[in-house]
Structure 1
Amino acid sequence: MYERYAGLIFDMDGTILDTEPTHRKAWHEVLGRYGIRFDEQSIIALNGSPTWRIAEAIIALNQADLDPHALAREKTDAVKIMLLDSVQPLPLIDVVKAWHGRRPMSVGTGSESAVAEALLAHLGLRHYFSAVVAADHVQHHKPAPDTFLLCAERMGVDPAKCIVFEDADFGLQAAASAGMDVVDVRLL
């Protein structure tokens, strides 16, 4: 099915790893320290964004006087502890395993590299990917194409010959902007 592609790119959170419930739990824990709440649908709409951008949106909605980067660091620290104990691969990991060694593959994520690398290593999945491109590797995040273009570059593959697997609207937009075909895994 994917033989016509020279490279496969996978989003991480919600695509190959079931991290979304843990991310929401970490947000609840951290925001609870400040008496702040968030609307889950608003956060879901920001899936694929770096943590500091989500923190900015939460701060704006709550008219809170907090630093988005400091809040993002608190959430990242909380999620690191929770994720290693709770995250499992999603069924799409079977595609990764089936194509390992047949095509270069990479991960393009809105998570920070420390979180992405730790999770993939902890689950024994890191060796499947020739590159992991995270939020701290690019200046312009999803929906900009930079994450996926850097994945293609690091795999040594023409972007037009890549396919992206995504679960978030920002990621779908980023793949299209990169000139790549995309699979919306929510429809699988």
Structure 2
Amino acid sequence: MYERYEGLIFDMDGTILDTEPTHRKAWNTVLSGYGLRFDMDAMIALNGSPTWRIAQAIIELNQADLDPHQLAREKTDAVKAMLLDTVQPLPLIEVVKAWHGRRPMAVGTGSESAIAEALLAHLNLRHYFSAVVAADHVKNHKPAPDTFLLCAERMGVAAEKCVVFEDADFGLQAARLAGMDAVDVRLL
């Protein structure tokens, strides 16, 4: 089915790894300490965004006087403490395993590189990917195409010859802007 592509790019959170429940639990833990709330639908709409951007939205929703980067760091620390014990691969990992050695593959994620690398290594999945591009590797995050363009560059594959697997609207938009085909894994 993916024979015509020279490179495969996978989003991480919610696409190949079931991290979303842990991210939500970490947000609940951090925000409860400040007496803040968040709107689940608004947060889901921001899937694929870097943590500081989600923190900014929460701060605006609550009209709080907090630094979004500090709030994001607190959430990242909470996630690190929980993730390695809770996260499991999603069924799409079978596509990764099936194409390993046949095509170069990369992960393009809105998570920070420390989290992405730790998770992939902990689950013994890192060796499947020739590149991992995370939020701290690009200036412009999804829905900008930068994450996926850097994946293609690091794999040594032209952007138009890549396919992206995504579970978020921002990521699907980023893939289109990068000139890549995209598979909405929510429809699989």
Q: Normalising to structure 1: TM-score of the pair? A: 1.00
Please tell me whether residue 129 in structure 1 is matched to residue 129 in structure 2. Answer: yes
In 1, Cα distance between equivalents of 2:159 and 2:187:
23
Aligned partners of 1:80 and 1:17: how far apart in 2?
A: 15
Q: Which residue identity does 1:152 align to in structure 2?
A: A
Q: Which secondary structure state, in structure 2, belongs to the residue aligned with residue 33 of structure 1?
A: helix
Answering whether residue 169 of structure 2 is matched by residue 169 of structure 1, we say yes
Partner of 1:12: 12
Q: Distance in 2 between matches of 1:132 and 1:81?
A: 21
Take 1:172 and 1:58, find their aligned partners in 2: how far apart are those partners?
A: 23
User: What amino acid is aligned across from residue 134 of structure 2 in structure 1?
Assistant: A
Deviation (angstroms), 1:93 = 0.1
SS at match of 2:35: coil
| Divergent runs of 4+, >4 A | none
Aligned to 2:21: 21
Who is 1:33 aligned against?
Answer: 33
List per-residue Cα deviations over 1:28-60 (Å, max 9, x = no partner): 000000000101110000000000000000000
What residue in structure 1 maps to residue 153 of structure 2?
153
Q: Which amino acid aligns with 1:8?
A: L
Q: Provide the rounded CA distance (Å) in 2 between the counterparts of 1:20 and 1:75.
A: 13
Give, in angstroms, the shift of residue 81 of structure 1: 1.0
Write the distance in 2 (CA, Å) between the matches of 1:89 and 1:56: 29
Structure 1: gaps (5+ residues):
none
Distance 1:67 1:75 in 2: 12
Identity of aligned residues (%): 85
User: For 1:122 and 1:64, how far apart are their aligned partners in 2?
Assistant: 36
Residues 34-73 of structure 1 aligned to structure 2 (within 5 Å): 34-73=34-73
Corresponding pairs, count: 188
Say which SS state the counterpart of residue 106 (structure 1) adopts: strand
Match of 2:87 in 1: 87
Deviations 1:116-166 (A, max 9, x none): 000000000000000000000000000000000000000000000000000
Alpha-carbon RMSD: 0.3
| SS of residue paired to 2:34 | coil
Report the Cα distance in structure 1 between the residues aligned to 2:182 and 2:39, rounded to whole angstroms.
Answer: 28
Which residue type is aligned with residue 159 of structure 2? Answer: P
Distance 1:69 1:89 in 2: 28
Write the letter of the residue equivalent to 1:31: L
Mapped to 1, the partners of 2:133 and 2:144 lie a distance apart of 14
Q: Partner of 1:138 in structure 2?
A: 138
Distance in 2, matches of 1:121 and 1:95, equals 18
Name the aligned partner's letter for residue 128 of structure 1.
Y
